[in-house]
Amino acid sequence: MIVTLTMNPSVDRTAHLPSPLTVGGVNRITTVDDSPGGKGVNVARVLAGGGVDSQAVFPAPEDDPFVAMCGASGVAATVVPAVGAVRINLTVADPDGVTTKINAPGPEVDPATLDRVCSTILALARDAGWVVLCGSLPRGVPDDFYADLVAELRPAGARLAVDTSDAPLAALAARLPGAAPDLVKPNGDELGQLVGVDGAELERRAADGDTTPVVDAARALRDKGVTTALVTLGGAGAVLVDDGEAWYANTPPVQVRSTVGAGDSALAGYLLAEARGLTPEDRLVWAVNHGSVAASLPGTGLPLGLDPSTFRATVRRLD
């Protein structure tokens, strides 16, 4: 079983426009879609769609419509009772694939709820192969929450993955190697945060076809206790550094319709392949194909149950 934690779940509402967004003008919406979101929920949805047993953990009122929405989407959920409605995140999408995100902060989490979240995750981790800690942290949760939780979870024996950004990621980086997860899934900018280099430069070099700085930065995480880094680089592909070895995979050509959930889908694709005992190269291919398919779907469209025979990413080993 793979357990995911989403501390700041959201109803992902996508408003589709017939033309590019006019800032300061009148924009008329063609359709609106709602789906259960938050990074860990997205990962759990893709895992379930791929036939892997998963459990999405999140704080929410038990009667919140979000809970029913998860059930209707096939997500097995453990709801930690909390006060405050699940937030609504708005994505405005135009036909050219340009997305504008407007994210709500979410309700404040009180200390009692935080304690219930930790005890729930610790209990589930005893029977889990992976525990995946995902996304932003809501108000009331300290920046070092993930770092603390990684340290607490390690004795349970489950492998640990973290996919976050900004202050929680900086707090995790400051606690390495003591709070090192087994797997991180940064983009180029987040990788820079983790190892103290210019992430924008990493992404620029990768876009120009030079992934050497990304590989060097990802390998530096080995010295900080992180076994595996899956670095997603958007249209420039992705790099996997696993136990010191490195591979690159290209992004198959797709018409980008929405990037929402693409990184989450890449992480889920990697975990799906890992659950099947596939090689690191194949895990990277699965990650890139799941991410690229997600980007080709509107709104928070997720790649559920992809047929591997249709995968088009190619992979090569790096020195």
Q: Give the span between the Cα atoms of 281 and 267, in whole angstroms.
A: 14
The 3-class SS string of 213-263 reads HHHHHHHHHHHHCCCEEEEECHHHCEEEEECCEEEEECCCCCCCCCCCCHH
Q: Would you say how long the chain is, in residues?
A: 319
Active site residue 264: yes
Q: Give the span between the Cα atoms of 247 and 34, in whole angstroms.
A: 36
Q: What is the pTM of this model?
A: 0.94
Which range marks the domain in which residue 151 is found? Answer: 2-318
- Measuring CA to CA, how many Å separate 225 from each of 187, 188, 238, 289? 19, 19, 21, 28
Residue 319 clears pLDDT 80, i.e. is over it:
no
The span from the first CA to the last CA of the chain, in angstroms, equals: 34
At 78-104, the pLDDT tens digits run 999 999 999 999 999 888 878 899 999
Q: Give the span between the Cα atoms of 269 and 282, in whole angstroms.
A: 10
Residue 255 clears pLDDT 90, i.e. is over it:
no
Average pLDDT over residues 28-51: 95
Domain count, the chain: 1
Written as six digits, the tokens of 152 are: 């607490």
Contacts of 23 (CB under 8 A, 6+ apart): none
Tell me, what CATH number does 310's domain have?
Answer: 3.40.1190.20
Q: Report whether 139 contacts 105 (CB < 8 A).
A: yes
Model confidence at 77, pLDDT cuts 50, 70, 90, reads very high
At 274-304, the pLDDT tens digits run 999 999 999 999 999 999 999 998 878 899 9
* Mean confidence (pLDDT) of the chain: 95
Q: Give the span between the Cα atoms of 162 and 4, in whole angstroms.
A: 10
**CB burial class (10 A; 0-12, 13-18, 19+) of residue 104?**
middle
Written as six digits, the tokens of 176 are: 């390495």
Q: Report whether 38 contacts 135 (CB < 8 A).
A: yes
The one catalytic residue among 264, 282, 307, 319: 264
Share of the chain above pLDDT 90, in %: 88
